[in-house]
């Protein structure tokens, strides 16, 4: 059995080491041999992406009720589908047991803020391998640096503003390639695998392989400032200084869409991993949402009074909310519920955040000048008051990124690169079929083929990712109308209740009317009945509660009390 990367360190009562610090840096403990990973993890794909409230996660939409006068076939179809979905949910819930890993955390002593604990202390406290995840790369020549971690979290790509590009296996500190493109580098981004990365240089967009060989120079994409890669669509979205948002399909090398946003220079960009919508921040304080299928923005929202400096999107599946965090020139940090387009809370950062990043488990890191602050529980409804962790660096911060499946935050700044330990940042359980940090060369190849086969078409990008599972209402209605015209009647209409003719004077007009009235407004009646029942139940509960309260502190003399 091979033991890789994660392990646990529990240091309690280490007073001799630190002053009254109880530090528990609980990194995930996993023994992975390849076989185990591939046996357990295939079934966990869905479960893995969720982090909280497992019971709710497995619920897949609403159950459909069988209508009263349904045909036999319909009843069967509904019953079968319901049974199947229930089975699927149950199975998924059962397999949830196979996710044994817990996230790490950092706990301070009484009267001690965790944000005063320095990285050096943490690195000392944890084991050597974990400690080695805190390191600095002093690259003062070509800074400041942008950075990007590959999806598996193994490889790091750094790109200095002055042309220095390097990719490193950061855990083994194995330098894959290093070069100077002799041009301004605006952004760097890994493509779907570790074998390719895109570099947005002064004029064009370049694509290199992991050896540093230039593969493409995409001249259609000029003056690119920011890039985002949509992994399931194989789309590289670029935002340029000329105000163009362009999509490049890296699987076929075609430009999918080029949208002129007419919003000026686009240097703030993020993606919503939930629906692959691109968010752009603009100097007039608005954030606009884009899909490649629409020439105008899907949504435009006014977030800040000043220009938007940074934003980051986050999906939190299993909860109803999807989040977006923005920071602006007005030095505010705002958290939005992106489904309702409503701000959840905002806080004032004295220096304003220039860079933002969200970890897999929802830790927010914000770069305020030279300091990186990490906030916990940002995505709740209650506002944050103080940072969870903080780390001071030398030089302006340009890039921030959490490493997937690791409790590590990468910081690109003017003086080079810093890897910072943030306990509890990474998701401890990974899906080996999707993103396996330990995958072999062969496994990577297999994954690539499968991922390409399962590629999601860019047409499906929209605000509602579940659009595909819905009936195209407009064309459905159109078709239905045509059908009604052709047939002369509505085939889907519910036929009117026709009372049976009965004998022995029971089919008199009055009796028929009575029978008709019995079934009239059946749907409404059902609804009313349901609501009434709910209300009565609620009242009952309240009553019981109050009764319990009474009984709890009741004495015999109570009855004489007025």
Partner 1 sequence: MQNENLVQISFFNQLMLVHPRKKQNERSEASVQVSEYFVNAEGTGDKVNLSDLLGTVEKTSGASNKTKKQLRNLQSSKETLELPLNKQQTEKIQRGIAYEKTTAEVSCWKNIILQNQKAEQMVFPLNQESSGPKRVEQVVAGWKVQTPLEQEIFRLLHGSRQPVNDPVLTPVEEQSLKAMSLEEAKIRRAELQKARALQSYYEAKAKREKKIKSKKYHKVQNKAKRKDFLKQFDEMVKTNPEGALEELKKMELSRMEERMSLKHQNSGKWAKSKAIMAKYDDSARKAMQEQLQMNKDLTQKMVVPSDDEHESIEEGLETVPDFVNDPETVIDPVNPWMRGQLTHEEPEVSCVTAEEVQTAEEENEEEEIIGEFERKRKLRQADEEDLIPTEEEHVVEVSDKEEEEDEEEDVSEFNTLFRLMRSEKTREGSNQTRGGLNTAGEEDEEGLLSEGQIRVRSIEDLEVLDEVVEPRAIEEPSAPQTAAAEATSEPPHKKKREINLKEVLTKEAKAVRLPFLPTVVDEEERDEQISIIKEAFAGDDVISDFIKDKSRQEAAGRPAVVDLTLPGWGEWGGVGLKPPRWKRKRFRIKTAPPPPRQDQKLPDVIISEKRTASVASHQVSQLPFPFQNTAQFESSIRTPIGSTWNTQTVVKNMTKPKVVTKLGAIIEPMVKEDFIKSKTTSAGGKGAAIMLGENRRAKEGTKRSKKREKMTTARSNS
**How far, in Å, CA of 560 to CA of 548, rounded?**
20
Q: Please answer whether residues 199 and 206 qualify as being in contact, where contact means their C-beta atoms are separated by less than 8 angstroms.
A: yes
**How far, in Å, CA of 538 to CA of 39, rounded?**
47
Among the listed residues 24, 384, 484, 512, the single contact to partner 1 using CB under 8 A? 384
**How far, in Å, CA of 383 to CA of 381, rounded?**
6
Residue 275 vs residues 79, 216, 247, 291, 465: alpha-carbon distances, Å: 30, 28, 15, 9, 5
**How far, in Å, CA of 187 to CA of 193, rounded?**
17
**Residue 110 near partner 1 by CB under 8 A:** no
Task: Determine phi and psi for 162, rounding to 5 degrees.
Answer: -95, 25
Region near partner 1 per CB under 8 A, out of 19-27, 113-121, 193-201, 440-448: 113-121
Among the listed residues 140, 381, 467, 531, the single contact to partner 1 using CB under 8 A? 467
Among the listed residues 347, 354, 499, 512, the single contact to partner 1 using CB under 8 A? 347
Among the listed residues 22, 40, 195, 349, the single contact to partner 1 using CB under 8 A? 349
Q: Which residues are CB-neighbours of 502 under 8 A, at least 6 positions away?
A: 511
**Residue 459 near partner 1 by CB under 8 A:** yes
Query: At CA 529, angle to CA 524 and CA 532, rounded to 5?
Result: 125
**Residue 302 near partner 1 by CB under 8 A:** yes
Least distance (Å) between residue 276 CB and partner 1:
13
Among the listed residues 71, 498, 500, 504, the single contact to partner 1 using CB under 8 A? 71
Among the listed residues 155, 186, 201, 297, the single contact to partner 1 using CB under 8 A? 297
Among the listed residues 2, 13, 128, 350, the single contact to partner 1 using CB under 8 A? 350
Q: What's the full length of the chain, in residues?
A: 562
Q: Please answer whether residues 296 and 280 qualify as being in contact, where contact means their C-beta atoms are separated by less than 8 angstroms.
A: no
Give the E-state strand segments of 139-223 in sequence order. Answer: 145-149, 155-160, 164-169, 174-180, 185-190, 196-201, 204-209, 214-222
Among the listed residues 441, 470, 498, 500, the single contact to partner 1 using CB under 8 A? 470
Q: Which of residues 434-453 bind partner 1 (CB under 8 A)?
A: 434
Local structure of 482: helix, strand or coil: helix
**Residue 228 near partner 1 by CB under 8 A:** no
* Strand pairing category for 235-240 and 224-230: antiparallel
Q: Which residues are CB-neighbours of 167 under 8 A, at least 6 positions away?
A: 155, 156, 157, 158, 175, 176, 177, 178, 194, 197, 210, 212
**Residue 330 near partner 1 by CB under 8 A:** yes
Q: Please answer whether residues 245 and 259 qualify as being in contact, where contact means their C-beta atoms are separated by less than 8 angstroms.
A: yes
The smaller minimum CB distance to partner 1, of residues 302 and 528, is found at 302
**Residue 306 near partner 1 by CB under 8 A:** yes
Among the listed residues 371, 380, 484, 522, the single contact to partner 1 using CB under 8 A? 371
Among the listed residues 33, 120, 468, 519, the single contact to partner 1 using CB under 8 A? 468
The smaller minimum CB distance to partner 1, of residues 17 and 83, is found at 83
Among the listed residues 3, 17, 33, 64, the single contact to partner 1 using CB under 8 A? 64
Cis peptide leading into residue 144 (ω within 30°): yes
- What is the C-alpha R_g of the chain? 29
Region near partner 1 per CB under 8 A, out of 18-26, 75-83, 190-198, 402-410: 75-83
Q: Please answer whether residues 267 and 226 qualify as being in contact, where contact means their C-beta atoms are separated by less than 8 angstroms.
A: yes
Among the listed residues 305, 506, 538, 540, the single contact to partner 1 using CB under 8 A? 305
The smaller minimum CB distance to partner 1, of residues 196 and 317, is found at 317
**Residue 42 near partner 1 by CB under 8 A:** yes
The smaller minimum CB distance to partner 1, of residues 2 and 453, is found at 453
Strand order across the 224-230 sheet: 224-230, 235-240, 244-249, 254-260
**Residue 383 near partner 1 by CB under 8 A:** yes
Least distance (Å) between residue 340 CB and partner 1:
8
Among the listed residues 151, 274, 304, 314, the single contact to partner 1 using CB under 8 A? 304
**Residue 76 near partner 1 by CB under 8 A:** yes
Give which of 168, 114, 160 is closest to 141, Cα–Cα: 160
Region near partner 1 per CB under 8 A, out of 237-245, 298-306, 495-503, 523-531: 298-306
Residue 556 vs residues 222, 543, 544, 551: alpha-carbon distances, Å: 86, 21, 20, 11
**How far, in Å, CA of 185 to CA of 29, rounded?**
38
* Strand pairing category for 308-315 and 322-328: antiparallel
Among the listed residues 17, 53, 81, 508, the single contact to partner 1 using CB under 8 A? 81
Query: At CA 321, angle to CA 45 and CA 189, rounded to 5?
Result: 60
Region near partner 1 per CB under 8 A, out of 294-302, 399-407, 498-506, 513-521: 294-302
Q: Please answer whether residues 429 and 96 qualify as being in contact, where contact means their C-beta atoms are separated by less than 8 angstroms.
A: no
**Residue 474 near partner 1 by CB under 8 A:** yes
Least distance (Å) between residue 532 CB and partner 1:
21
Least distance (Å) between residue 407 CB and partner 1:
20
Residue 457 DSSP symbol: P
Least distance (Å) between residue 371 CB and partner 1:
6
Q: Which of residues 387-426 bind partner 1 (CB under 8 A)?
A: 387, 390, 392
Region near partner 1 per CB under 8 A, out of 6-14, 16-24, 184-192, 471-479: 471-479
**Residue 67 near partner 1 by CB under 8 A:** yes
The smaller minimum CB distance to partner 1, of residues 158 and 374, is found at 374
Q: Please answer whether residues 194 and 210 qualify as being in contact, where contact means their C-beta atoms are separated by less than 8 angstroms.
A: yes
**Residue 212 near partner 1 by CB under 8 A:** no
**Residue 61 near partner 1 by CB under 8 A:** yes
Q: Which of residues 506-545 bind partner 1 (CB under 8 A)?
A: 543
Count the residues of the shown chain that bind partner 1, applying the rule CB under 8 A. Answer: 100
**Residue 202 near partner 1 by CB under 8 A:** no
The smaller minimum CB distance to partner 1, of residues 349 and 512, is found at 349
> Counting beta carbons within 10 angstroms of the beta carbon of residue 36, is it exposed (0 to 12), middle (13 to 18) or buried (19 or more)?
middle
The smaller minimum CB distance to partner 1, of residues 45 and 216, is found at 45
**Residue 479 near partner 1 by CB under 8 A:** yes
């Amino acid at each position: 059995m091979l033991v890789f990367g994660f392990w646990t360190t529990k240091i309690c009562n280490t007073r001799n080491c630190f002053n009254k610090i109880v530090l528990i840096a609980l990194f995930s403990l996993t023994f992975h041999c390849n076989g185990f990973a591939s046996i357990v993890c295939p079934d966990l794909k869905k479960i893995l992406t969720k982090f909280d409230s497992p019971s709710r996660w497995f619920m897949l939409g609403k159950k459909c009720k069988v209508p009263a006068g349904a045909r036999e076939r319909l009843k069967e179809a509904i019953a079968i589908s319901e049974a199947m979905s229930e089975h699927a949910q149950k199975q998924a819930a059962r397999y949830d047991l196979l996710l044994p890993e817990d996230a790490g955390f950092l706990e301070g002593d009484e009267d001690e803020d965790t944000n005063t604990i320095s990285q050096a202390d943490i690195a000392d406290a944890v084991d050597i391998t974990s400690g080695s995840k805190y390191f600095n790369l002093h690259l003062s020549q070509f800074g400041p640096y942008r950075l990007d971690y590959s999806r598996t979290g193994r490889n790091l790509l750094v790109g200095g503003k002055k042309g220095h590009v390097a990719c490193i296996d950061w855990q083994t500190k194995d330098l894959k390639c290093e070069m100077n493109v002799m041009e301004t580098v605006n952004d760097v981004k890994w493509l779907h695998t570790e074998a390719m990365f895109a570099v947005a240089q002064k004029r064009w967009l370049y694509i290199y392989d992991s050896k540093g060989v230039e593969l493409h120079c995409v001249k259609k994409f000029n003056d690119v400032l920011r890039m985002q890669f949509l992994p399931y669509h194989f789309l590289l979205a670029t935002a340029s200084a000329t105000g163009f948002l362009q999509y490049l399909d890296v699987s076929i090398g075609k430009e999918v869409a080029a949208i002129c946003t007419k919003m000026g220079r686009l240097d703030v960009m993020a993606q919503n991993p939930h629906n692959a919508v691109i968010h752009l921040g603009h100097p007039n304080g608005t954030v606009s949402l884009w899909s490649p299928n629409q020439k105008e923005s899907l949504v435009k929202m006014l977030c800040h009074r000043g220009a938007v400096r940074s934003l980051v999107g986050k999906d939190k599946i299993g909860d109803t909310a999807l989040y977006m965090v923005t920071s602006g020139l007005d030095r505010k940090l705002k958290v939005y519920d992106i489904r309702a387009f409503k701000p959840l809370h905002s806080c004032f950062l004295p220096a304003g955040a220039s860079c933002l990043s969200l970890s897999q488990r929802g830790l927010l890191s914000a770069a305020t000048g030279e300091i990186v602050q990490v906030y916990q529980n940002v995505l709740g409804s209650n506002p944050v008051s103080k940072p969870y962790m903080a780390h001071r660096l030398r030089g302006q911060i340009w890039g921030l990124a959490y490493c997937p499946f690791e409790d590590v935050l990468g910081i690109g700044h003017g003086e080079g690169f810093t890897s910072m330990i943030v306990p509890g940042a990474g998701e401890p359980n990974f899906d080996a079929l999707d993103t396996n940090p330990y995958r072999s060369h062969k496994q990577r190849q297999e994954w690539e083929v499968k991922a390409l086969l399962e590629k999601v078409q860019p047409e499906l990008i929209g605000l509602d990712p579940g659009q595909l599972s819905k009936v195209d209402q407009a064309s459905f209605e159109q078709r239905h109308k045509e059908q009604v015209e052709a047939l002369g009647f509505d085939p889907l209409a519910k036929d009117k209740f026709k009372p049976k003719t009965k004998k022995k004077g029971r089919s008199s007009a009055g009796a028929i009317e009575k029978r008709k009235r019995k079934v009239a407004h059946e749907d409404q009646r059902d609804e009313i009945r349901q609501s009434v029942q709910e209300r009565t139940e609620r009242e009952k509960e309240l009553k019981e509660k109050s009764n319990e309260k009474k009984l709890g502190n009741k004495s015999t003399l109570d009855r004489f009390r007025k």
